[in-house]
Structure 1
Amino acid sequence: MPLDSSTYSLAGLRVDGRRWNELRRIHGECSTQSASDGSSYFELGNTKVICTVNGPREGRRAGARDQSNAANIECEINVAGFSGVDRKRRGRTDKRIQEMCHTISSAFTGTVFTHLFPHSTITIVLHVLSQDGSLLAACLNATTLAIIDAGIPMRDYVAACTTGSTASYAANDGEADPLLDLNGLEEQELPFLTLGTSGGDDKVNVLIMETRVQMARLEAMISVGLDGCRQIRSILDGIVRAHGKKVLASKVS
């Protein structure tokens, strides 16, 4: 079903009632799975993800052949068959899943202090419970919370979001406006990208072009995405601080 673009021009609101620069409801928790070293639960709108982190642990290739001087970060994503409207179960060999795993591993390899844990492995496992857009961004944010919960040192939060354009790739009318945090329906109809930052000062360490987009619109999309990442970083920081206060309160009592 085509997206009704008149919603944007007439009311200034999107199909779910948000303005162009508004995030969906975000909810997150730490230490949700006791069987892992670190865990989290993260909601970005109706996209819901559970993340567990184990490690650092001795690498699988330990011995004389293991010459690595830093921890290896492995990622696995399990998508529940009921998570999307198509009721399709995606396995590990799915190309989209493999690309997301590689992106997540690369993002945190450059953020986690892997050099402190030579000859070891950090394993990230993500379980997708519900999909409604911004799946990669939700996975990155959930992983940030789980790694912090595991006590693994890192340079800064990795905060991610999606940003899109209201015009198609072929349109040349110059009237396109950027949108922040796309839902599932918007992702089906509009060009978009996933952006992730860490280290402060808008340092981009994830930039994935999910669809084709004109270069003339790219600057505005990235600018909106950077602002969204700043908002999400603040929310992630609030989740971590709230969890820390809860842990301290339980120890005092």
Structure 2
Amino acid sequence: MQVPTASISNPYHYVNLARKASNLARDKYNVPAVFMDQFENEANFDMHYRTTGPELWRQLAGEIDAFVMSSGTGGTIAGVATFLKQVQPNIRIVLVDPPGSSLYHKVEHGVAYAPQQQERTLRKHRYDTIAEGIGLDRITHNFQLGLDGIDAAIRVSDQEAVDMAHWILTTEGLWIGSSSAMNLVGAIRTALDMPVGSQVITMICDGGQRHATRFWDPTFIEKWGLQWPQQGCIPERIQSIV
């Protein structure tokens, strides 16, 4: 079911509608429905703390200098960051954030705010980025659990994500979605600011097949005022190293 983009305080926000549908199915129709509450349910953080973080540490034999990724529910970056900081406090944890999200300023300045939230410019149903599933205008419980372990944040533009997705498809054969593209931009920007030979880790968390009608549709991209990359396009940030 499609729902309008809305604030979490709006009863028509998808989280609130999901909770309502679950309660209705269970209480009125006796359907064994469960509302997972993935943004606030601490099991989300705990699973990544107990499994994803240790898996990365084992596979890379403890040779990790930075972990970089965006935040949706917040469970992955918070859980992984908490584990990695415990085994190696010097590991750098960097949040990647899209336009319109307030998480960047929460990490960098301690205030959950984005310029798009200015009173005179705020839209009733705001949607400021083509990236789906990442960035929020609130701090979830899962994100809060790992907030102290996040060292820095990087704001990634929609155009950077589009360019990166096309470049990685051409060079690596990986058809990725918008979240993964932003993660890669953030990882490369982080790596370029670190000593040569540093191990920087990120997540390829969504496939392009789930974004075929939006992120991978040239008409949609151009309607957003973005440029559809030409064949052989190299993202501006990495032109000097390829």
Structure-2-length-normalised TM-score: 0.26
Bigger share in helix: 2
Higher strand proportion, which one?
Answer: 1
- TM-score normalised over the length of structure 1: 0.26
